[in-house]
């Protein structure tokens, strides 16, 4: 037997992976002698610890992905290659014309829709697939986990009492009992042990979770990919990029927005392809003396008639009514409203300006991710050249409230932009 050791990366919580329910100890799985230890013990034994590297596909740390929940999942094809279908149709069509933007599925896309997606509920009865959108290079799906995934059908493949579906079985295949390894130098052995620790901790965390469901689905898609394209053309590492993105449903109104977003995805893609310059994140653009990121119509900055929409606490109701009239009049005559839209009153003015189709420069506390695209009304305003979004700071994934200092900086930028030109 070969000994494998790993440390608990769960902040001290019990590792319930592999059905042991133990916080530590030694047991045997598939001819492996497995030892679970905490981080301090692993360090004390001289093992190199590889910390988790967070990415944009990381999960919500406060949510239990083993339990109930509704999610919008996004899986991206490796390299963004359009293997799942082709975008067809006309963007300027009326609803019901039948010639609007849509994706004509490829053989692979059709196989995923007809064969692989139905398997999710088949192998995981606790999971319902509510809505799916297949785009040329990615997939969106709204899924509902209606029961705790730890209470599903038993998996027999590991002999561990773990629960899950058929797709998860393949994820955990070892290819038979491992042969005894030759003695290696201590440094290489430490590296191998550390890698095994990291992998096993990750597997333990994903067992009986949404991540295991996604892994099973991706494996089925990989098989369809290899079958259709052949191993000579298909990459061995699989169809999709590593990981996936999920959004957790927090309220019912959010679900309506998700469904609308999925329905509108083909049109949005066609609009972006027709106007790529309006949806590209521009880096290191100097605005009001600061290097910024921008998305949208940068020529709005050259329009001389601009006004800064800033509401101060000292303003009376009469002041607000007068200023609101002046700001909207600027938009009406073709000028530009510039604002960080921080206060409620500022948001109300910007919302009305957008509804009227006025030109807007919006300043943001957060920057833009690599594949950023605006949503809802902002998307339409951007596609029509009516919106420019600017941020003087890099993109981050933190959930934080904008500071008073940042508010002052953005308002100062708005005033400088309005005076510029």
Distances (CA, A) of 96 to 101, 135, 270: 12, 20, 18
Q: Taking a C-beta distance cutoff of 8 angstroms, is the pair 149, 120 a contact?
A: no
Residue 197: both structure tokens together: 């620790």
> According to the model, what pLDDT value does residue 57 have?
58
- pTM: predicted TM-score of the whole model, two decimal places: 0.62
> According to the model, what pLDDT value does residue 299 have?
93
**For the chain, which domains are there?**
2-49+153-206 (no CATH), 69-150+209-270 (3.30.70.1290), 275-419 (3.40.50.450)
Beta strand spans in 119-216 (E):
127-134, 138-145
> According to the model, what pLDDT value does residue 72 have?
95
Q: What element of type H or E holds 389? A: strand 387-391
Rounded Cα distance between 338 and 354, Å, is 12
**Residue 19 DSSP one-character state:** G
Distance of alpha carbon 353 from its chain centroid, rounded?
30
> According to the model, what pLDDT value does residue 6 have?
45
C-alpha radius of gyration, the chain, whole number: 26
Rounded Cα distance between 309 and 345, Å, is 10
Helix, strand or coil for residue 198? helix
The Cβ-side half-sphere exposure at 226, using a 13 Å CA radius, reads 11
Rounded Cα distance between 121 and 151, Å, is 15
Helix, strand or coil for residue 92? coil
pLDDT along the chain (421 residues), means of 10: 45 36 48 55 60 53 87 94 95 76 96 96 94 97 92 39 34 31 54 55 60 94 94 85 92 90 91 90 93 95 94 92 95 95 95 95 93 87 94 88 93 93 55
Burial of 29 by CB count in 10 Å (0-12 exposed, 13-18 middle, 19+ buried)?
middle
User: DSSP characters for 76-88?
Assistant: EBGGG---SEEEE
Q: Taking a C-beta distance cutoff of 8 angstroms, is the pair 41, 183 a contact?
A: no
Residue 381's nearest CA partner among 337, 333, 340, 413 is 337
Q: What angle do CA 381, 387, 392 make, to 5 degrees?
A: 140
Rounded Cα distance between 10 and 317, Å, is 53
């Amino acid at each position: 037997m070969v000994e494998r050791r790993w440390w608990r990366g769960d902040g001290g919580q019990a590792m319930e992976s592999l059905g042991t329910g133990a916080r530590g100890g030694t047991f045997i799985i598939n001819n492996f002698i497995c030892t679970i230890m905490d981080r301090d013990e692993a360090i004390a034994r001289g093992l190199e610890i590889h910390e988790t590297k967070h990415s944009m596909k990381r999960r919500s740390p406060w949510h239990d992905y083993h339990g109930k929940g509704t999610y919008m999942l996004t899986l991206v094809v490796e390299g963004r290659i359009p293997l799942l279908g082709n975008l067809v149709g006309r963007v300027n069509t009326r609803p019901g014309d039948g010639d609007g933007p849509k994706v004509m599925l490829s053989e692979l896309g059709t196989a995923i829709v007809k064969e692989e997606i139905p398997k999710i509920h088949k192998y995981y009865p606790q999971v319902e697939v509510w809505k799916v959108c297949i785009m040329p290079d990615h997939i969106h799906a709204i899924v509902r986990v209606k029961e705790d995934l730890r209470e599903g059908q038993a998996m027999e493949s590991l002999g561990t009492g773990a629960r899950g579906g058929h797709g998860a079985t393949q994820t955990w295949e070892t290819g038979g009992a491992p042969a005894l390894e030759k003695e290696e130098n201590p440094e290489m052995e430490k590296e191998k042990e550390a890698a095994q620790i990291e992998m096993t901790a990750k597997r333990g965390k994903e067992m009986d979770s949404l991540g295991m469901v996604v892994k099973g689905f991706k494996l089925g898609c990989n098989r369809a990919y290899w079958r259709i394209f052949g191993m000579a053309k298909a990459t061995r590492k699989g169809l999709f990029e590593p990981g996936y993105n999920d959004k957790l449903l927090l309220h019912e109104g959010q679900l309506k927005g998700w469904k609308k977003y999925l329905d509108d995805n083909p049109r949005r893609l066609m609009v972006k392809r027709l106007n790529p310059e309006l949806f590209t994140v521009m880096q290191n653009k100097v605005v009001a003396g600061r290097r910024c990121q921008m998305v949208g119509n940068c020529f709005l900055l050259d329009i001389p008639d601009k006004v800064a929409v800033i509401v101060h606490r000292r303003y009376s109701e009469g002041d607000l009514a007068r200023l609101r009239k002046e700001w909207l009049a600027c938009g009406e005559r073709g000028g530009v409203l510039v604002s960080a839209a921080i206060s409620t009153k500022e948001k109300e003015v910007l919302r009305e300006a957008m509804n009227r189709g006025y030109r807007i420069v919006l300043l943001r506390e957060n920057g833009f991710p690599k594949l950023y695209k605006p949503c809802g009304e902002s998307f339409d305003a951007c596609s029509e050249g009516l919106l420019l979004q600017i941020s003087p700071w890099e993109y981050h994934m933190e959930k934080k409230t904008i500071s008073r200092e940042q508010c002052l900086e953005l308002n100062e930028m708005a005033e400088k932009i309005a005076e510029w030109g």
